Every structure is written in C-alpha cells, then in structure tokens.
Structure 1
Amino acid sequence: MKESLPVLLKKNLQHIPIGKYEITNYSGDDNDTIISSSHITVEMDNRSKGQMEDFPLFTGIELLFYRFLGSKVYSRHEAFEHVIEINYCQDGSMGWNMNNGTNIYLGAGDLSIHSMTRCANSELTFPLHYYNGVSITIDITRIATTLPEILKEAGVSGQNLYQKFCALPKPVFVQQNNKVIQIFNDLYNAPCTMKTAYYKLKVQELIILLLSMDVCEEKIVNPYYEQQVNLINEIHSLLTQNLEQYFTIDELSKKFFINTSALKETFKSVYGAPIASYMKEYRMKKAMELLRTTDYHISEIANNVGYQSQSKFTAAFKDITNLLPSEYRRLNR
C-alpha cells in the first residue's frame, strides 16, 4: 500500500525536534547549492514542527516550499505593504486567521494572493494536522529595475501586479484552477538537476498566467469569519466524537442553525473534503488505529466506527487502504 502523505511527512521531518522549524537556504544559482541550514524556535503549539526551503530566483522574487506537522503556528513579521505573497496548498489544508479578523482556508489546489501587510501577526491552523505548500514572494520595489526580460515582454510590472491583486478590499482566492494546479505539480516534479533554473521558468509562467486572469470571472471564494469557522469546528467535534452515529446534512443544519449550502462549502474549505468523504476516511483511520493497537474482533471495530455490517465495513476499508482489515492488522502488528 502506498504510504499516505502524513506518514511520509513524519519520516521526512523526524530529524526535526518538536517545536522547531528547519530553514534551508539555497544560493539561487543553477547548481542548487545549500548555503545554510538551521533549526530555529518559532511560536507554535507544543506538538508541531516544520520545514522551509528558500530558493531566491530573481532579485525580489523568492520561492519557498513549506511542510508542517501539527495544528498551529504563528506568523510574526513586519507589515510589508510592498511585498506580494502568493500561497498555494499542494496537500492538506490551512486556515489563516489574518490580522483584520478574516479567515481564509486553503484546501489542496487552492491559491491566495495578498500583500504581506495583511498577514503580519497572524495565526495559521492546519485542520488535518499537516500541510504541504508553496509561497512565492514578490517585492515590487526591488523588481522595478531588475525584472526578467520574459516578464517585461509580457507587460508585467510591480505596479500592475499590486493593483490587480492587492488593492482589493480582501485577498484574492482562486479555487482549483486547472492551469494553476498544473504549474505547481510541475514545480513539485522538477528534474533533480538544475532545479533552480526550472523553478525560474515555472514561476514566470505562473506570474504571467495570474496577471492574464480576469479576477472577476475566476471562482473567488469569500473569506470565512471566526464565528462561522468556530461553528464548523463544533460540527466536526460532534461528528468525530460520535462515530457510532450518522448525521444528515439537514440534521446538522437544523441543530447548528446554518443553511445547508454554507455548511457544505465551509466544512470542505476548512477540512479539505466534503463531510461524507471526510468522515469515511476519518472512520477508516480510527479503524486502522484499533487494528494496530488492540485485539478487538473486526466486527467490534466495525461497530466502534459506525458500521453495523462487517461486510460493509470491510468493503469501505478496502476502498481506502486497498487491504482487507485482517491483512492490514497482520502487516502492522
């Protein structure tokens, strides 16, 4: 069975102590040379850790890869009005409680753009307890005289980037645009040699694509506010603490006084999947834990995670893991 991303992240970050953040800085030349690597202490919850790789691509333009395990980290920096930040979620999900009380949630394939004045002294949460994503920063004061020729020919300037994406009353949020997803998939599958050169090519392609978009025609998702997010978290607690019960959307809507459309949309944005899909996977993860750590009969485990029929549980388990429950237990004991 292919290992899940959280399992792979745990392996890749196991050398980083809890509460620490590893920063690796690259030279920005085509040799992909590491010039420094260090562990620093940042403000996060006491079970989190993270990793950042920083590639300076051009004067004023940087590409950063982020990996987090845990549930919360804080971002403390100056309010850089002149720096544009593009954030993309490759895997997992991220909630961003910005300093004006606005919450933005990125699920896999989602992208947001804003000036870094919006995210100074902000809180990042990871509802799935992991995050794998990319940030691109563009300092519009530094690129004024050093913009790459390809971007110049495309009509890109710091001023038109700022006016399009940062002069709006709220951050721009583009949900699962296929062309954007393809570019970031390419970044994650860059050739092992000449990575920096490849990154330069793809980031320029992304900037031109974003500037060509009609923001009004894109699917722009409104930010979520703290009260709405807290309500969704309450619903999540009810669902995950009562696995033996099944709640319909209508029942949840009436119980928590939220309309069904807002419930479905906000839950997916916060937790990265529709309620039914999320809960099926959650039940299977709980079943995997019980198979690994207890001697319960499979029918008992099925009942514990909400399946009265062992055959239906077995089918659901195999759909998620490609293994029968008995096979999974044998391989993981």
Structure 2
Amino acid sequence: MKWGDLMEAAMKQSQLHDIYFPEKKEKSANLILQQSTDTGTGEMTCYDVAPGIQITYNHLNMDSCYQPLIPKEDFLQIDHCLEGCYECELAGGSVSFLGEGDLSVSNLCKGQQLFVGSRIPLKKYRGITVLLEMEGAQKTLNTDFRQGDINLQQIRDTLCGDGRSLLIKSKHEIDHIFSELYRVDERIRIPYFWIKVIELLLFLSLLDASYVKKPRQFSEDVSKGTQQAYQYIIENPFSKITISQLAEMFHVAESSMKRCFTSIAGNSIGTFMKIKRMEAAAELLVSEPQLSICEVAEAAGYENQSKFSAAFKSIMGVTPFAYRCKSW
C-alpha cells in the first residue's frame, strides 16, 4: 500500500534506484536503498527471497518518499505496519491510512497507477513489504511448493476483487507471522523468509470476502485538520482543550476527526492526549527536580495527586515517585 511504485523499481533492481535512491548500497543478498530529503531520511532493505518474491524492510523518518511510477507487471503487494503511519492519496483527493498493526493487501495492475500521492503524517514509519510479481511468483510456488496449492490469482480476486486494496486490522495470526520477521537472525534470513512468505500466503488463502475491509477514506480537509490537531497535542501536552474544541479549532467535524485520528495515531484522541500528558509529566519529573509530585500533577491538570499517580502508572508502568527515583 505504501511503497507501491518504488517497490516495483526495487523488484526489478533497475536504473530507477539511481533516480529515487542515489545512495545505493549492495550487501550480499540484499539491496539497501536510501533517500535523504529536507524533511528527513528513509531506508529500504530489499531481499530477493525467490524468483518473483521480495521482502523489504522499510524505515522512514520523513514527510514523504512518493514518486509517480506505473507498474510494468502485475503485482500483489502485502504491507505490515509496525510503527507509525502511512497516508495514501487516492484519485479524487480522498486519503486512507495504514496504521500500527495493520496489514494491507494491494493489487498493483500493469499500466495503472494505484495512488496519486503519499505522506508520512508522523514522520515515522517502520514496516515490512512482501512484493509478489504475479507471474514469476506463481511459477516459483508451483515449482517449489506444489503441495501448498497456493493460487495468487485467487487470493487477489478474493481479497481485492472489488477494488485495488483492502485492510486487515491486527489479528493474532498476522502479529505472529510478522513479529518473527522483525527479529529473525541474519544467519538464517533468506530461507526463513521463504517459510514466512508461505505461511502468510496460506493464511491469506483461507480468508474469504467477509474478512475484506476497505481502508477508511477521508477527505483532504479532514486529514489535514486532524494532523494539525495531532501536532497541537504534541506541542501542548498539558492543554485542557476538549476534543470538541479541538475539532472546532481545526474546522473538522468531531466524529470525522475521531475516526481519522485513530487511523493516524493508532489510539483514540482521548487516549493519545493522556499518553502525551503523562510523557510530558515524566519529563518534568526528571528535568525539574525542585517540583514536588503534587506540583507536577497540577501542571498536568490533576488537582488530585492520587488520580495523577494512577493515571501516570497506567501509562508509564510505575508511579511518579518510582519513575523519578529510577531516573536519578
């Protein structure tokens, strides 16, 4: 869903690498693609698992890495988000998001552009892409894993039949498959990738249309206003502003902002406010040792110290006193 166009370039290992990622490093079985802009840096580490099958680790700390490119072959692209969020702009101006724990399956058709733009709202994205060139990958599966009877066309038609992309919210099976991919020992990486790709495809082959969930789409105005609200909370963690006031400030309907915010941040606005408030309080406990815990509680908007301590522990895992002592 995210790297779409760039992933085809990575798959073909073509001259496009030099256009989009001038800082290219080849290292044994993998290809490292790096990009630097005035908003940050991005890195893709690509592994050829088998003919037609590639796994890429994506680590982005930038506003965007989008470049328009039309696929020359048919691809099935599977993306898992570990951290952060990725925003894709669709034709017509609406946007959708891939958030933490989400799995997306996208149908990249030959000669067609799937997305017209993309951004990284939080300037942070970590995830894995499994890219399958339909014809080549199917030949590999037919030859090397005949007993699995995996049909990529059937998977694509079932999961992406009425559109080009679907979203599967975090499930135990998904978390299990990808959690191991994020920490695999490099000594067994390539054969292990093959095992996990097979496991993933077998899992997807069991799904039917009832699992299909189209990514939520939001207007550009809702997306922009919600991201401004997100930034406001980051910059003003002790603000006592309400959600309705926040929506009014950035000219977005409250219900739309709530839905969009969850897609961007992975938490509700209320939960996110609480997390940022406690993180700021934790920083204050360490940076301002002359302040009593009661004074820090007041700064965080709590008149009752015991309620502040309970809220702090629910987020930080320890009481304010224990956190301060541990940090000294």
What code does the residue aligned with 1:186 have?
E
Tell me the distance in 2 between the aligned counterparts of 1:100 and 1:216: 27
Give the superposition deviation at 1:175.
1.4
In structure 1, the partner of 2:45 is 53
Q: For the structure 1 residues 293 and 151, does the alpha-carbon distance in structure 2 shift closer, same or farther, using more than 3 Å as the test? A: same
What code does the residue aligned with 2:79 have?
N
- The CA RMSD measured in Å over matched residues stands at 3.4
**Alignment map for 1:72-91 (pairs within 5 Å):** 72-76=63-67, 78-80=69-71, 82-91=74-83
Tell me the distance in 2 between the aligned counterparts of 1:245 and 1:282: 10
Tell me the distance in 1 between the aligned counterparts of 2:77 and 2:297: 46
Mean Cα deviation higher: 91-100 or 198-207: 91-100
1:325 aligns with 2:316: no
Instruction: Indicate conservation of the 8 Å contact 2:29/2:48, yes or no.
Output: no
In structure 2, the partner of 1:265 is 259
Tell me the distance in 1 between the aligned counterparts of 2:199 and 2:29: 27
**Alignment map for 1:13-92 (pairs within 5 Å):** 34-35=28-29, 40-42=34-36, 44-46=37-39, 48-68=40-60, 70-76=61-67, 78-80=69-71, 82-92=74-84
Q: Aligned match of 1:315 in 285, 288, 310?
A: 310
Tell me the distance in 2 between the aligned counterparts of 1:121 and 1:45: 21
What code does the residue aligned with 2:103 have?
L
Q: Deviations over 1:137-185 (max 9, x none)?
A: 1111323533344655444344334434455334211112332222112
Instruction: Indicate conservation of the 8 Å contact 1:79/1:120, yes or no.
Output: no
Aligned length, in residue pairs: 302
Instruction: Indicate conservation of the 8 Å contact 1:113/1:165, yes or no.
Output: yes
State TM-score, norm by structure 1.
0.75
Q: For the structure 1 residues 189 and 212, does the alpha-carbon distance in structure 2 shift closer, same or farther, using more than 3 Å as the test? A: same
Q: For the structure 1 residues 253 and 168, does the alpha-carbon distance in structure 2 shift closer, same or farther, using more than 3 Å as the test? A: same
**Alignment map for 1:1-333 (pairs within 5 Å):** 34-35=28-29, 40-42=34-36, 44-46=37-39, 48-68=40-60, 70-76=61-67, 78-80=69-71, 82-98=74-90, 101-116=93-108, 117-119=112-114, 122-127=117-122, 129-149=123-143, 152-166=146-160, 168-191=162-185, 193-249=187-243, 256=251, 258=253, 260=255, 262-295=256-289, 297-298=291-292, 299-329=294-324, 331-332=326-327
Tell me the distance in 1 between the aligned counterparts of 2:22 and 2:105: 24
Gaps of 5+ in 2: 1-20
Instruction: Indicate conservation of the 8 Å contact 2:31/2:46, yes or no.
Output: no
Q: For the structure 1 residues 317 and 273, does the alpha-carbon distance in structure 2 shift closer, same or farther, using more than 3 Å as the test? A: same
What code does the residue aligned with 2:141 have?
L
Instruction: Indicate conservation of the 8 Å contact 1:61/1:138, yes or no.
Output: yes
State TM-score, norm by structure 2.
0.76
Partner SS for 2:215: coil
Give the superposition deviation at 1:75.
2.4
What code does the residue aligned with 1:315 have?
A
More helix by proportion, 1 or 2? 2
Amino-acid identity (%): 23
Instruction: Indicate conservation of the 8 Å contact 1:244/1:303, yes or no.
Output: no
What code does the residue aligned with 1:274 have?
S
Tell me the distance in 2 between the aligned counterparts of 1:21 and 1:319: 45
Tell me the distance in 2 between the aligned counterparts of 1:36 and 1:186: 19
Partner SS for 1:145: helix
Give the superposition deviation at 1:240.
4.4
Instruction: Indicate conservation of the 8 Å contact 2:166/2:213, yes or no.
Output: no
Q: For the structure 1 residues 307 and 213, does the alpha-carbon distance in structure 2 shift closer, same or farther, using more than 3 Å as the test? A: same
Gaps of 5+ in 1: 1-19, 27-33
